[in-house]
Amino acid sequence: MLDSIRQLCEEGFAIHWLYPRAKNPIGDDWAAKPVASFEKLKRSYRQGMNVGVRLGKWSRIGDLYLHVIDLDIRDASLSDEARAELRKMISEFEDLPSVISGSGGESRHYYFLSEEAFPPKKLAHSAGKVLGKDDKKHWAWEIELFGTGKQVAIPPSIHPDTGKRYRWEREIDFDAIILGVGPVVEADRIRELIGREREIDIQSGDGEDRSKPLGLTVSEIQHTLKGLPVEYWRDDREGWLTVGFAIHHETGGSQEGFQLWRDFSASSDKFDTSDQRRVWKSFRNKPRPIRMATLMTAAREARLEAEFENLDDAEDDEDDFDDLDRPAKPKPKKPDYSSVLGGPRDAEPEEEDDADDSDDEDVPPRVVKLRKADVEAELGHVPPKVKRMNAKHAIAFVKGKCVIITEHDDGTTSYGTQADLHAWYENDRVATEKSTEPVSKAWMRHKKRRDYPNGVVFAPGRDVAGAYNHWKGFSVIPNNKYSCALWLAHLRDVICSGDETNYRYALGWFAHLVQRPEEKPGVAMILRGKKRIGKDTIADYFANIITHHRVKIANQDQLVGKFNAHQEKCLFLHVEEGFWAGNKNADGVLKNLITSEQVLIEPKGINPFNVDSCLRLFMSSNEEWIVPATADEGRYFVLDVSEARRNDHVYFAALRKEMKNGGPEALLWYLQHYDISDFQVRKVPNTAALTQQKLAGLKNLDRWWFEMLDTADLSFEHYVAGGRTADWSSDHVHVDRDDLFDSYNRWIHGRRYDGDALSGPLLGKRLQEIIGDKLQACYPRRGKSRIRQYIIPPLEICRRAFERYLNSEIKWDVPAKVVDADELDEDMDDEYDDLDQDKM
């Protein structure tokens, strides 16, 4: 039991003990008790106790509050109805952490976090009622929000009726919570759901009510009013009313407060004592006060420019944060930075005898420096350490949560948590007013930190306002003074085996990436051939122009597996020695990778999020079957690579030398200027290598029929009309339907991975699709009965039909006899006229 609650306590869950095998907390004052620490819970634990958690304001996880959606289903037959109603409210509820009660059934507790602590609220219930175990009628199902004032039993508590334990259906992912991307439902959605407006008096971190007055002195209120521009806050009625309401709230509507407002207003041409007193009294009936913090913010912003003019330039040095070990110097009066920054005032301002009547304070030099740095930041002056942090880190708002982005020296980026960032900079500290802190915390608070409110994108060649763009551009500067002639020759003569059509398409494919990187081509380049012939050389050379956005992998799991963070900013994905091997589970993933214009990125420890996908897939392999190509395939540009340069070390040494001496710069220039105005990237050449991939992927009936076509040998008894043995190369052969089915069934039963056997009617229909209308059915007499037969066209006609079906020209293993296919068609028509036949 104790082990199960330790982390919950550490994360901020308000855990308390329940009576054994019960749902009620121990003690009547459980709702108001301070949250117990794990050590206190450990001391008070007794064998057999159940455990619960207080919700809402008591369970604060970071800056969020824990709530539960109680889905109470008493009639299991209506569970779909109840879940459908909950789905309308919170569409993602099935992804939230959930608990199954020890009572069993369809009821669930769904846990989520929100920015505000909400009270309990009934959300929905069924139309009818059912009789409960207590012989009373209850709603067949109910949905309720549990928040402040509610508690629930949690695993591993034991249900009082069944004696079975509560258990997690989906556990809470604490790593995601620490990262700030936990199971969050935004407060705005909850407010809309329960019909509740935003509360001004939400709980602050120390438990104080933020709607209470700030406790300012008269002098501090006067100081704030002095900083307000009178054009709006005094002479404009709306601003004037705001000032009066804030003073009324701060002073409790006292006469002293009224006098402060009156003195502020007296110099206005619109001043009217009687009207002001009437308005002052009306403030008592306002339900939602305006706080002095509103006026302090306005005064602070108005003073920024004036205060900056009075900053002592002598205090500037090369590091605005680095003064921890430096002895304090005697210093003259400084401008009152606390009034600018809204900081605390330690003492009342003293009266000055001379003309300088500013409300200055005598504060430590290091504090002045920190405040001065903040003022400078407001005006565009960024301290060196903030610049240093900005050069390395950024913070982005991703899926409603803050994520730290760290840029590494090798051009890669990684995501992290705020906690990890602060831990790393624990030994790089800056001064605060009372102590020191990691520089990362000061950076996080600074207004000039590098941040991206619109999240993370990958948008080659364009800017996205407010978003961190992973696009880093090309890695080299295009330059036609160098040469890439060997790369071009290798692409033409080796990769494309001298085929001009394939070479022009391959050049267009690479140029399309360079000229239109933001457009997803939807076509993968697949190279097949033996080792050491230069398949990967073409990609490795090309990768030099786009090193930041090229990923090279040699593991199929990295291609179609769950964790795919490498795809987030990838433009050129090079899969070395990849192969398909009939992995049906990854079929959709692979096709989606090639064609989908968005990709769901699932970094470890972070909730998934979508980015635009511009990825091009380049795959090399020495396997026979690499990709699952289909008859109407348009996703794969497949090439059989020439072996002409296999183990030609001199040849490849020259290629590497070109690559090291300006070749990538020349290649980028060449591809940028290559004309693709008429190039259609999705018009893929139907290569012989693509045909082989189609054939390698044939299954079931397609495979059975292809093997007979390829060997020119039918595996069932066949003959011509009249009964003599047929020659398939020239004859229209007859076969009894049962003989054909038996032959197919014997074959399929020995094929483990070809799927289930087709039924008779479906087999005939599929044959018709493959052979076309040249396959006929007939019913000749045999004795007193009619026998159902198929008339199969001669071999050459069947092969042509299969090539049309596969949309590829096939190089057959056994050549057919040279016959006139048109003449065979005429002979077949004549034969049909002599038969008693029916079409299938």
**CATH classification of the domain holding 599:** 3.40.50
Dig out the tokens for 717 from the structure: 């008894």
Categorize the per-residue pLDDT at 3 as very low, low, confident or very high, splitting at 50, 70 and 90: confident
In a domain, 478, yes or no: no
Q: Are residues 447 and 522 in the same domain?
A: no
CA–CA dist 216, 210 (Å, integer)? 14
- Torsions phi, psi of 806, nearest 5? -90, -10
Q: Per-residue pLDDT averaged across 120-134, rounded?
A: 86
| Domain that includes residue 819, residue range | 698-838
Which amino acid type is present at position 699? K
Distances from the Cα of 728 to the Cαs of 712, 734, 794, 795, 803, in angstroms?
8, 10, 5, 6, 18
- Of 149, 178, 194, the one marking the end of a domain is 194
Share of the chain above pLDDT 90, in %: 41
The answer to whether residue 433 sits within a structural domain is: yes
Q: What is the pLDDT, as a whole number, of residue 350?
A: 40
Q: Is there a single domain that holds both residue 375 and residue 519?
A: no
Q: Are residues 40 and 140 in the same domain?
A: yes
Please state the domain count of the chain. 6
Mean pLDDT is lowest, of 538-542, 639-643, 815-819, for 815-819
Task: Look at residue 44 and tell me whether its pLDDT is greater than 50.
Answer: yes
Task: Name the percent of the chain lying above pLDDT 70.
Answer: 81
**Do 286 and 247 share a domain, yes or no?**
yes
Are 31 and 177 in the same domain? yes
- Using the 3D structure, point to which of 298, 318, 336 is the last residue of a domain: 298
Task: Write the single-letter amino acid at 83.
Answer: R
Q: Which residues contact 279 (CB under 8 A, 6 or more apart)?
A: 241, 244
Same-domain status, 62 and 157: yes
- Position 242 in a domain: yes
| Overall average pLDDT of the 642-665 stretch | 94
DSSP H or E segment with residue 525: strand 524-528
Is 96 within the bounds of a domain? Answer: yes
Q: Is 140 a domain residue?
A: yes
On the question of pLDDT at 107 being above 80, the answer is yes
CB distance 151 to 223 below 8 Å: no
668 plus 734 within the same structural domain: no
pLDDT of residue 63: 77
Q: What is the pLDDT of residues 742-761, one digit of tens each?
A: 999 999 988 877 888 998 88
pLDDT in tens, 681-727: 999 999 999 999 999 889 899 999 999 999 999 988 888 866 677 78
Query: What average pLDDT score do residues 100-124 get?
Result: 90
Would residue 206 count as lying in a domain?
no
Q: Are residues 567 and 497 in the same domain?
A: yes
Residue 593 shares a structural domain with residue 534? yes
Kindly state whether residue 210 falls inside one of the protein's structural domains: no
Question: What pLDDT is recorded for position 285?
Answer: 66
* Shared domain check, 805 and 716: yes
What's the rounded mean pLDDT across residues 524-538? 93
Which of 418, 413, 731, 356 shows the shortest CA–CA distance to 549?
A: 413
Nearest to 154 by CA among 104, 113, 101: 101
Q: Quote the CA–CA distance of 644 and 665 in Å, as a whole number.
A: 27
d(C-alpha 43, C-alpha 648), whole Å: 77
Q: Give all strands (DSSP E) within 694-830, no chain letters.
A: 733-736, 776-778, 781-782, 785-786, 789-792
Last residue of a domain, one of 691, 708, 733: 691
Together in a domain, 267 and 401? no
Q: Are 656 and 771 in a shared domain?
A: no
Query: Per mean pLDDT, which range of 259-273, 330-344, 371-385, 562-576 is the poorest?
Result: 330-344
Task: State pLDDT tens for residues 262-298.
Answer: 999 998 888 888 889 888 988 876 666 788 988 887 7
The pTM for the full model equals 0.54
Is the pLDDT confidence value at 601 over 90? no
